[in-house]
Amino acid sequence: MEEIRKSLNVIVKSLISEKKVEYVLGFEEGTLPLKPVPLYIEKEEDIDRLIWNEYCNLNLVKFLLEEPHGKKIGIILKNCEIRSLIVLINEKQINREDIVIIGVPCSYGIIDINKVSKLLDGKEFTEFKKNGNDYTFKGVGFKKIIKLQDILSDSCAYCKDKNPVEYDYLVETPNEFKKIKDEDFDEYFDVIEFEKKTPKERWAYFKKELEKCTLCMACRNACPLCYCKLCFIDSNQPQWFDKTDDLSEKMLFHMTRAIHLAGRCTGCEACTRACPEGIDIHLLYKKLRKMTKDRWKVDKIELGEPSVLGSYKIDDPQEFMVKED
Amino acid sequence: MVKKRKKKKEKQENQNNQKNQDNPKDQQYSIEKIIPKDKFDSLIKGLYKDFKLIVPKEAENEIEFDYLDPENEKYQFPEYQNLRVSPKKFLFPQKEVLYSFEKEGTGIKIKEKEEKIDDQIIFGIRSCDARSYKILDTFFSSGKYSDPYYFSKRNKTLLIGLACNDPMSTCFCTSVGGAPFSSEGLDAILYDLGDNYIFKIISEKGIIFEKYVKEYPDVNKVDLKKKEELATSARGKIQFEINLDNIEKDLDSLFESDIWTKVARRCLSCGACSYVCPTCHCFDVQDKSDKSGGKRVRIWDNCQSSIFTLEASGHNPRNSGKERTRQRIYHKFNYYLKNYKILGCVGCGRCIKVCPTNRDLRESLKIVVETAEKA
Amino acid sequence: MNHKHELDNPYIPSLVTIEEINPENEVNDLKTFKLIFNETVDKEKFFEKFKPGQFAEITEFGIGESPIGIASSPTEEDYLLFTIKKTGKVTNRLHDSKKGKMVGIRGPFGNGWPLKEAEGKNLVIIGGGFAFTTLRSLIVYLIHRNNREKFGDITIVYGCRNPGEFCYKKDLEEWGKRDDINLNLTIDREHPDWKKLVGFVPTITKEVAPSPKNAMAFVCGPPIMIKYTSPVLQELGFKDEQIFLSLEMRMKCGIGKCGRCNVGSKFVCIDGPVFSQAELKVLLRD
């Protein structure tokens, strides 16, 4: 990680000193452990605060949406985030030439702080230490060692798409990160396992998870692909959503959002990590990714390619159409 | 100079009625008992005969306030510093029916909500949450209209606190007029001495508890000394302190300042902070209906959402994160002082913990105070 | 707890029936609804508090509630008038209503125009577009036979973009005939059917407003009109304490609890909607 940070320093420094961008968006340590915050690097001295590690848990692409077209911005991204930026470029929300992408190959993935919190029974930890794959968390009256794989975001655990596909600068990383082997697991392993459950079990699972939802919209607002000026959930005329916290309304919100993201979601899981209630919502989105893959043979978003549901091709599968007798 | 300082002190007292005092004036109810921890369950069972009890309970992955059913379980406090979600919802639920109506031909018949509310105790709340009810009491009773839904529950509710031996890293109650051992707003308080609790009656309403604790011995000097030591130690564990004596004036001068762009820059405009906040009380009103009738409900709302102030015409006075962030801070740290002479924040730190982008209210307050000092 | 408060639940509406619906403008997105209370006791309670400049929350059951300024005067004793623009979901449904329909009403809410302070003074009443509703309430109140002599000269400036937009045409005709009102109707640009004044409200105000001495101005209109009228009044010598404006904000509860209509530390629903220019100056406005 330290090597990555050094390489980043060099790239960012040249971008800033040569005034190639107005600022570079990265992360710095926040006020709480495992809670880094977006860092706007505008001056060279800001670079010292830059960090890069496995708990940089937001998708920074979200913060590009508020910037006007024509403003040159540098941004440090992993591949899932680069793909979400590609969606925004494809959908003409952001101009490719406005953005200087500094791509970083992803090592293990990102820690889901909600998983940490669950494993600590909600207790506050004020310190953590890393030793290889062991993470030691300390708080008042406890110390607990947790393995990295138990706190990684689910999508990261099964991710095979770790090398940047689009970038202006690529950070050189140690060899171990570069070689991402096509190991003996399916990228959609967790979805496939979930599909084996009965409809009743699946319903029970989502019901239990979504009952926790307070409709705070952190998931939607953390997602760079949710950029509608007026979200269907906020619309008054017509009003699709009755704005109460009934389970049916929570379901309506999450399912509609999932469908809006079908063929667009890149599995960065910023939504799941942003959820203050620790709801595991990622399966819903991942299932739709798998469906687009199974049906249209497309699951990775490429620059210049229209989205699966946003375009029509003559050979699109049509098995859902009912034949007339 | 002396005069000026005195004035400042008065203001300080106004700000929160009591500033950093562990025990407010009501010393006259000198009922202070020692309850051994192994007798605690029988105290709970005794109270349960006459009250519904809302207590911290082990839930799936955390500890939550919930109704207790002590018939089948022995109750002890689980270990907790404070809970992620405040106990606000027991008096101000996220969704609450205001009334229902039936359609009768072309007419309408309104049915007022009939709610049977039992006497209840919210048990084991920390000092910050106790003070949050004081704030909600002040707000919901302010002006010409008192809120009947809040008070129908509030008037049936007693509060028994559990003094805070181990404040969390995000706690800053002492900066907003509280203290880990404050009994302000409570009817009774427990102090955890290790093997025993001190049970102390605080308010006039709390006298009702006398009969449940009279069998226990009175506190002695040793216990009280230990309590004082714990109070000092707890206070020492608060990691953040800021002087907010001039916050109202500071904010008066900073409304147009460019600090708000900076403070708001990372805000996602979600409602996480408002929903865990023990004092946020804004709500939305919505109608639900079917063929035969319907109901009107109110639901928690939050000022960070852009539709909060969006008018039907399309105009929105708080159109960007900057105005909305500013509103939340002004509401708690300026408008509350102007309208009710109290702060609207109890320093529980929940908003800091919950924010997906680590927007830290303490940092924002620091920026405000420092900017005002420079000006 | 809280014995000082009104005993009724302020969230429960009273039932009223729509007795008349009258279109107000040519494009037909503005209608005046005449509402009759179903129960006398509800009516009495409402009228006990009712002052010109206040608003009420109107419920379309199952749809929602909308805050609307009251267009009738307390002196029109048997009914309430609301002039409603088709904008949101509640007002759309109201516009589709037929006579005889039951709706809900809560109120009256807000402070209303400062009538006590206005006694003995010359008044200039300035309005624009359809935001003339609570000004109609005010004027009808002022010129009522029991009230007229309490007030000095009354000057009215009412401007619209074109002749088809004027509300309350019957009232305007009647007021125009009276010699105790100086009525000035103006449109923004020349129009073949228009024989009265032409020019923007601020310009006309400058020409017809009374001397600021012992006078007060009541203003209600679109933000752009207010923006340009206030400086004109100041130029004429009106002090901030003499100028009163009626504000609009998104509201829900009407009783200062839901938290969205604040302007600085004040809630428009309970501290307003009428504020003096002096009050507004010290409020922190988004």
pLDDT in tens, A140-162: 989 999 999 899 999 888 888 88
pLDDT of residue A306 exceeding 90, the answer is no
Helix, strand, coil percent values for chain B (each to nearest 5): 40, 20, 40
CA distance B83 to chain C (A): 26
Considering the domain architecture, whether residues A157 and A290 belong to the same structural domain is answered as yes
* Per-residue pLDDT band at C220 (split at 50, 70, 90): very high
Beta-carbon contacts of residue A30 (< 8 Å; ≥ 6 apart): A36, A37, B358, B360
> Which chains share 3+ C-beta pairs under 8 angstroms with B?
A, C
Q: Which of C32, C31, C43 is nearest to C78 (CA)?
A: C43
- Assess if residue B12 is contained within a domain: no
d(CA A275, CA B360): 17
Residues of B in contact with A117 (CB under 8 A): 61-62
Tell me: the pLDDT tens digits for A231-252? Answer: 999 888 788 888 788 899 999 9
Considering the domain architecture, whether residues A234 and A283 belong to the same structural domain is answered as yes
Out of C68, C87, C109, a domain closes at: C109
Assembly ipTM: 0.91
- Is the CB of C250 inside 8 Å of chain A's CB atoms? no
- Assess if residue C257 is contained within a domain: no
pLDDT at position B10 is 42
The range of the structural domain enclosing residue C179 comes to 115-246
Considering the domain architecture, whether residues B309 and B229 belong to the same structural domain is answered as no
pLDDT at position B20 is 44
d(CA B133, CA B16): 13
Q: Which two tokens stand for residue C171?
A: 């009232």
Considering the domain architecture, whether residues B215 and B341 belong to the same structural domain is answered as no
pLDDT at position B6 is 41
Whether residue B170 and residue A32 make contact (CB cut-off 8 A), yes or no, is: yes
Q: Could you give the C-alpha distances from B228 to B163, B221, C107, in angstroms and in order?
A: 11, 10, 53
- Assess if residue C277 is contained within a domain: no
Q: What is the largest CA-CA distance in chain B?
A: 75
- Assess if residue C1 is contained within a domain: no
Considering the domain architecture, whether residues A145 and A80 belong to the same structural domain is answered as no
Q: Which two tokens stand for residue C19?
A: 């007795």
* Per-residue pLDDT band at C191 (split at 50, 70, 90): confident
Considering the domain architecture, whether residues B68 and B200 belong to the same structural domain is answered as yes
- Assess if residue C135 is contained within a domain: yes
Considering the domain architecture, whether residues A24 and A106 belong to the same structural domain is answered as yes
- Assess if residue A188 is contained within a domain: yes
Beta-carbon contacts of residue B263 (< 8 Å; ≥ 6 apart): B325, B326, B329, B359, B364, B367
d(CA B262, CA B86): 29
The range of the structural domain enclosing residue A242 comes to 2-112+152-296
Considering the domain architecture, whether residues B222 and B314 belong to the same structural domain is answered as no
CATH code of the domain containing C58: 2.40.30.10
- Assess if residue C8 is contained within a domain: no
- Is the CB of B289 inside 8 Å of chain A's CB atoms? no
Q: Could you give the C-alpha distances from B371 to B5, B242, B330, B364, C128, in angstroms and in order?
A: 22, 14, 15, 11, 42
Q: Could you give the C-alpha distances from C104 to B74, C61, C64, C94, C255, in angstroms and in order?
A: 51, 7, 10, 11, 16
CATH code of the domain containing C201: 3.40.50.80
Considering the domain architecture, whether residues B152 and B296 belong to the same structural domain is answered as no
> Which chains share 3+ C-beta pairs under 8 angstroms with C?
A, B
What is the Rg, in whole angstroms, of the alpha carbon atoms belonging to chain A? 20
- Assess if residue B334 is contained within a domain: yes
Q: Which of A19-28, A293-302, B178-187, C240-249 has the lowest mean pLDDT?
A: A293-302
Beta-carbon contacts of residue A124 (< 8 Å; ≥ 6 apart): A139, A140, B81, B168, B169, B353
Residue labelled with tokens 């709302």 = B301
Considering the domain architecture, whether residues C130 and C82 belong to the same structural domain is answered as no
- Assess if residue A304 is contained within a domain: no
pLDDT at position B319 is 86
CA dihedral of residues A251, A253, A255, A260 (deg, nearest 10):
180
Neighbours of A234 (CB within 10 A): 19
- Assess if residue C202 is contained within a domain: yes
pLDDT of residue C284 exceeding 50, the answer is yes
Considering the domain architecture, whether residues B189 and B329 belong to the same structural domain is answered as no
Whether residue C10 and residue B145 make contact (CB cut-off 8 A), yes or no, is: yes
Burial class (CB in 10 A: 0-12, 13-18, 19+), A316: exposed
Whether residue B106 and residue C101 make contact (CB cut-off 8 A), yes or no, is: yes
Tell me: the pLDDT tens digits for C98-149? Answer: 999 999 999 999 999 999 999 999 999 999 988 899 999 999 999 999 999 9
Beta-carbon contacts of residue A139 (< 8 Å; ≥ 6 apart): A120, A123, A124, A125, A126, A127
The range of the structural domain enclosing residue B173 comes to 18-236
Considering the domain architecture, whether residues C139 and C168 belong to the same structural domain is answered as yes
- Assess if residue B6 is contained within a domain: no
Out of C74, C109, C144, a domain closes at: C109
Considering the domain architecture, whether residues B223 and B285 belong to the same structural domain is answered as no
Considering the domain architecture, whether residues A128 and A48 belong to the same structural domain is answered as no
pLDDT of residue A56 exceeding 90, the answer is yes
Out of A127, A151, A175, a domain closes at: A151
- Is the CB of A7 inside 8 Å of chain B's CB atoms? no
Considering the domain architecture, whether residues A98 and A127 belong to the same structural domain is answered as no
Q: Which of B178, B75, B214 is nearest to B201 (CA)?
A: B214
- Is the CB of C7 inside 8 Å of chain B's CB atoms? no
DSSP code of residue B66: E
CA distance A236 to chain C (A): 7
- Assess if residue B10 is contained within a domain: no
CA distance C271 to chain B (A): 10
CA distance C41 to chain A (A): 33
Q: How many CB pairs under 8 A join A and C?
A: 6
- Report the percent of chain A where pLDDT is more than 90: 68
Number of structural domains chain C divides into = 2
Q: Which of B285, B271, B247 is nearest to B324 (CA)?
A: B271
Considering the domain architecture, whether residues B163 and B289 belong to the same structural domain is answered as no
- Assess if residue A290 is contained within a domain: yes
- Assess if residue C176 is contained within a domain: yes
- Is the CB of A235 inside 8 Å of chain C's CB atoms? no
Considering the domain architecture, whether residues B150 and B231 belong to the same structural domain is answered as yes
Tell me: the pLDDT tens digits for A128-141? Answer: 999 988 999 999 98
- Residue B96: strand, helix, or coil: strand
- Assess if residue A307 is contained within a domain: no
| Spans of chain B below 70 pLDDT | 1-29
Considering the domain architecture, whether residues A49 and A91 belong to the same structural domain is answered as yes
Considering the domain architecture, whether residues A262 and A117 belong to the same structural domain is answered as no
Considering the domain architecture, whether residues B189 and B307 belong to the same structural domain is answered as no
d(CA C156, CA C215): 13
DSSP code of residue B331: I
Number of structural domains chain A divides into = 2
- Assess if residue B87 is contained within a domain: yes
- Assess if residue C206 is contained within a domain: yes
Number of structural domains chain B divides into = 2
d(CA B208, CA B219): 19
Name B157's bridge partners. Answer: B120
Q: Which two tokens stand for residue C254?
A: 């009407």
pLDDT at position B28 is 57
